[in-house]
């Protein structure tokens, strides 16, 4: 087998694999300000606990949801918080299936599609609460979008964050995350 033929065969196989993956769809989360492995920008930092950020949720977009997606959920979680089970910064769900993203500051209710529920966070209120770690080490902040198999999650906005997360994971068809860092 000639070297050219060998490489042409490999290239054709790779192209076919990419085409099949694209057709099958893979849920992918992106943001113009939250970059994988990057630092969470000041615009998204909490206002309080010694921080003075504007506390705006980041713009998020997603593509490649499974065809049987009935709704979406978006969460932000800090697994490094000195709090049992980490720290929930944002839980939004019942996002309509025809939605492909949320605008900046949606966590304050601005630009949220009708019917979206934002449940309690570990701050004790609903909506977005940005990073505000205690001084010391850098924390990771995981932004995740979930494609769900139900149109309505069936949990209350007053439900504990861990219970909402449990309901989201139970109904998830696919998920995609971006992890960024922040620390004082």
If you count them, how many residues does the chain have? 184
pLDDT at 21: 39
Whole-number Å distance between alpha carbons of 56 and 178: 17
Neighbours of 133 (CB within 10 A): 23
The torsion region of residue 180 among left (phi > 0), alpha (psi -120 to 50) and beta comes to beta
C-alpha to C-alpha distance for 141 and 66, rounded to whole angstroms = 25
Cα–Cα distance between 93 and 151 in angstroms, integer?
Answer: 9
Write down the pLDDT at residue 58.
98
Is the pLDDT at 3 greater than 60, yes or no?
Answer: no
The CB density around residue 114, as the number of other CB atoms within 10 Å, is: 6
Q: Residue 12, class by beta-carbon neighbours within 10 Å (0-12 exposed, 13-18 middle, 19+ buried)?
A: exposed
The tokens describing 85, both together, are 């089970």
Structure tokens at 46: 């909490």
pLDDT in tens, 132-167: 999 889 999 999 999 999 999 999 999 999 999 999
Mean pLDDT of the chain: 89
Selection from 4, 154, 12, 148 nearest residue 75 by Cα: 148
Give the largest Cα separation in the chain, rounded: 67
Name the 3-class secondary structure at 45.
coil
pLDDT tens for 31-41 read 999 999 999 99
- Tell me the fold of 26-182: Phosphatidylethanolamine-binding Protein (3.90.280)
């Amino acid at each position: 087998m000639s070297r050219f033929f060998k490489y042409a065969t490999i290239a054709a196989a790779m192209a076919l694999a990419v085409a099949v993956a694209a057709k099958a769809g893979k849920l992918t989360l992106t943001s113009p300000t939250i970059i994988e492995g990057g630092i969470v920008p000041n615009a998204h930092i909490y206002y309080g606990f010694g921080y003075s950020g504007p506390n705006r949720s980041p713009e998020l977009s997603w593509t490649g949801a499974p065809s049987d997606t009935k709704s979406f959920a978006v969460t932000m979680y800090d697994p490094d918080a000195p709090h049992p089970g980490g720290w929930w910064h944002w839980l939004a769900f019942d996002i309509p299936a025809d939605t492909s993203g949320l605008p900046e500051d949606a966590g304050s209710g601005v630009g949220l599609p009708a019917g979206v529920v934002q449940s309690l966070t570990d701050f004790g209120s609903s909506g977005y609460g940005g990073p505000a770690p205690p001084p010391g080490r850098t924390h990771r902040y995981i932004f995740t979008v979930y494609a769900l198999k139900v149109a309505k999650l069936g949990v209350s906005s007053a439900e504990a964050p861990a219970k909402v997360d449990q309901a989201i994971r139970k109904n998830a068809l696919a998920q995609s995350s971006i992890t960024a860092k922040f620390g004082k």
